[in-house]
Amino acid sequence: MPKSIEKGEERPLRLSDYLQILDTISPFELQESWDNSGLQVGDPHQEIKQVFVAIDLDRELIASLPEGALLITHHPLIFSPLRVVDFSTYPGNLIGELIRKSIALVALHTNFDKSHLNSYVAREILGMEEIECRDFICYFDLSISFERALNWVQESFQLPSLRYVEPQREIERVALTTGSGGGLIDLVEADLFLTGDLKYHDAMKASNLGLGIIDIGHFESEIHFGKALAEQLKKYKIEAIIAPVKNPLHYKGN
């Protein structure tokens, strides 16, 4: 377990120490105004026994974690201000379990998208080397047929099925935004856009702009958060355990 020196004595890292490290890795100030990255549940003075990382949390995951652990998720459990924490409803039921087991919860969301996740996926999952990142969008040059692009994307993200908008021009440049990036269509300067949660009206807009889109799934594109963050934590001699989380959405075959 990493330790910090305080008044000449070593001590286990506290939650406040981890918050400082995470802020160094991916500054919380980078998050969008509507986001709620940072401390969600916990006492900054609490000593942390183990660190776990996951895209999200559910009751099954919390039950598997040891008491006194730190869980770092991509998506915040608490987005909007809570008027009441009702342990019988969501998200109060999860908050109650975290408190009962003294598990601290921190979220790294839009700040980590910008600083690490999109570039990690472009590099490690899609195999791109020369990447240009602008805020939420990563770009790379790639001359590929759309048919080949469909097969490549489906295999890379292990998608059970494909949703797409066919491009109206040759593919020479590709843009990537993990998670839900449909609202960025007007900013995309590419021939093909890889993003998740494609909505009908976004698809209609893209079609009329001649922009190709392949829906890479929200869960499927951001499940790599754990490995991306663990890679950064190792630089601080912190061994994080990547916790398994199941996709709440299921697919029925043909």
pLDDT the model gives residue 80: 87
Same domain, 167 and 91: no
pLDDT the model gives residue 254: 55
Q: Does residue 83 sit within a domain?
A: yes
CATH number of the CATH domain containing 71: 3.40.1390.30
CA 94/CA 85 separation, integer angstroms? 10
Instruction: Give the residue from 193, 190, 161, 160 showing the smallest Cα distance to 176.
Output: 193
Q: What is the DSSP letter of 125?
A: I
CA 34/CA 183 separation, integer angstroms? 14
Write out residues in the chain with pLDDT < 50, as ranges. Answer: none
The range of the structural domain enclosing residue 9 comes to 3-108+223-242
Q: Does residue 247 sit within a domain?
A: no
Same domain, 121 and 205: yes
Residue 167 to residues 23, 188, 201, 208, Cα–Cα distance (Å): 39, 13, 16, 10
pLDDT the model gives residue 252: 80
Same domain, 18 and 143: no
Same domain, 118 and 54: no
**∠ CA(186), CA(153), CA(216), 5° rounding?**
50
pLDDT the model gives residue 110: 98
Same domain, 7 and 101: yes
Backbone φ and ψ for 23, nearest 5 degrees, come out as -70, -30
Q: Does residue 201 sit within a domain?
A: yes
- Per-residue burial over 95-108, b if 16 or more Cβ lie within 10 Å, else e, is bbbbeeeebbbbbb
Same domain, 143 and 176: yes
Residue 13 burial class via C-beta count within 10 angstroms: exposed 0-12, middle 13-18, buried 19 and up: buried
Q: Does residue 252 sit within a domain?
A: no
Same domain, 142 and 198: yes
Q: Does residue 250 sit within a domain?
A: no
Q: Does residue 55 sit within a domain?
A: yes
Q: Does residue 254 sit within a domain?
A: no
Same domain, 159 and 236: no
User: Could you give the number of structural domains in the chain?
Assistant: 2
Tokens of 144: 């590929």
Q: How many other CB atoms sit within 10 Å of the CB of residue 129?
A: 7
What predicted TM-score, i.e. pTM, was given to this entire model? 0.94
- Residues near 226 by Cβ (< 8 Å), separated by ≥ 6? 53, 54, 55, 240, 242, 243
Same domain, 144 and 169: yes
Same domain, 119 and 80: no
Same domain, 53 and 142: no
